[in-house]
Amino acid sequence: MLSAELKAFYMVARLGSITLAAKKLGLSQPTVTTQIRNLESQYSVELFYRGGRRLSLSDEGTRLLPMVKELLQKEADIEFFLRNSGQVQGTLRIAATAPYYILDLVKTFRQRLPQVDVSVEIGNSQQVLEALEDYRVDVAASSQLLEDSRLIRRVLGSDPLVLAVHRDHPLAALEHVPLNALAGHTLLIREPGSTTRSLTEALLKDASVGFGPLLEIGSRESIREAVLRNIGISIIARQEVPHDPQLRVLSIENAPQIVEYLYCLKERKNARLPAAFLGLAQEMAPA
C-alpha cells in the first residue's frame, strides 16, 4: 500500500493535479485523493497546500519528493533487471509519436526474436519522452530533438511537412502553396506537446502569416478525418497522409523536414532488449 501511495504522491507532485495524476496512473480521481489523504493522516504530515485549482508542495512534501523519486527509480531498476535477465526474452516497451518508422523496426525485431513480447503506445512527443524518463517504456521514438546527456539518440528517418486538403478545398488547385495563401483558412492542429504543431506555428510565425481560426484535435487520425470532411486544412508529415481520392497533398513554401529519433536512457543501453533494438535501428538507419 505504501508503494502505491508514494507513487500517487510523486505523480501529483510532478503534475500539480490529482486529475492529471489519476489519468497518468490509470486510476480514478477519488482513488488518488484517498491515497494522498491516507499517507498524510497515517504519518501526520501535510504534503500539499490546497488552494485554487492547483496543488503545491508543502515544505515536508518538497523534502520527501527526491527520496520518493529515488525509491521509484530503484523499483523500476529492479523490475527492469528481472524482466531482462536470463535468456533474451521478456517484454520490450516502446512509446512512439507515429507508427510509420517504428513498426518496420518492430516487424524485423519480432522476426529475429519471436519469443520477445513487444508493446507499443502512441502519444505526442512530450508524452512519449515523459514515459521514457519515468521508466514506463524502454525506448521512445519522437520527432523532438533533445540534447540530453542522459539519452542515447538514433535517427530513424525524416519526412517533409506538407499541406493536406480536401479535393474540393480552394487550395486544392495548387501544386505548391506559398505560405501567405494559408491566411484566413481554418487550420487543424495537434495539441500542445506535438512537434508537428511547434514546427507549424514557427513556420507561419516566421512568415508573418495570420491563419484563420484554429481547430485543435488531439490525434493525427482525427485530423485526417476532419480534412476528409473538408472542415479545415492541416500541415502534417508526408507519411501521415493516407492514400485517399478525397485528399490532395500539396508541397509548402519553406517546408521543414520532420526527423524521427529513437531515444534510450544511457543507463539502459546495454540491457539485452533495448540494446538489441538500438542495434537494429542503427542497422536499418537511412544512409
Position 53 confidence tier, pLDDT thresholds 50, 70, 90? low
For residue range 58-69, what is the model confidence (pLDDT) as tens digits?
999 999 999 998
Domain range summary for the chain, segments of one domain joined by +: 1-83, 91-155+260-284, 159-258
Q: Please give the average per-residue pLDDT across 203-231, as a whole number.
A: 85
Q: Which one, of 174, 201, 181, 177, lies nearest residue 189 by Cα?
A: 201
pLDDT digits (tens, 9 = 90+) for 110-167: 988 888 999 999 888 888 999 999 889 999 999 889 999 999 999 998 888 999 999 9
Contact 96, 128 (CB under 8 A): yes
Joined together, the cell numbers standing for residue 198 give: 511547434
Q: Angle at Cα 241 formed by Cα 223 and Cα 159, nearest 5°? A: 115
Residues 246-262: pLDDT tens digits? Answer: 999 999 988 888 889 99
Cα separation, 7 vs 57, in Å, equals: 15
Q: Are 125 and 98 in contact (CB under 8 A)?
A: no
Q: How confident is the model at residue 28 (pLDDT cuts 50, 70, 90)?
A: very high
Which ranges constitute the DSSP H helices of 26-98?
29-43, 59-84
3-state class (DSSP) for residue 284:
coil
What integer is the mean pLDDT of 205-229?
A: 84
159-258 placed in CATH 3.40.50.300: no
| Confidence grade of residue 52 (pLDDT, cut at 50, 70, 90) | low
Per-residue pLDDT at 84: 61
- CA 109 – CA 116 distance, rounded (Å): 9
- Higher-pLDDT residue of 90, 43: 43
SS3 call for 32: helix
Model confidence band, residue 88 (pLDDT cutoffs 50, 70, 90): low
Residues 31, 52: Cα–Cα separation, whole Å: 21
Residue bearing the bigger pLDDT, 3 or 178? 178
Q: Do 1-83 and 91-155+260-284 show the same overall fold? A: no
* 65-74, 152-161, 278-287: segment of lowest average pLDDT: 278-287
The one-letter amino acid at 175: E
Interatomic CA distance for residues 233 and 223, integer angstroms: 9
For residue 67, the model assigns a pLDDT of 92
Average pLDDT estimate for 100-119: 90
Q: How is the chain split among helix, strand and coil, in percent rounded to 5?
A: 45, 25, 30
CATH 3.40.190.10 correct for 91-155+260-284: yes
Burial of 173 from C-beta contacts in 10 A (0-12 / 13-18 / 19+): exposed
Residue 87 has pLDDT above 60, yes or no: no
Q: Which CATH number fits domain 1-83: 1.10.3720.10, 3.40.50.300, 1.10.260.40, 1.10.10.10?
A: 1.10.10.10
Q: Which residues, other chains included, contact 66 with Cβ-Cβ below 8 Å and sequence gap of 6+?
A: none
3-20 mean pLDDT: 90
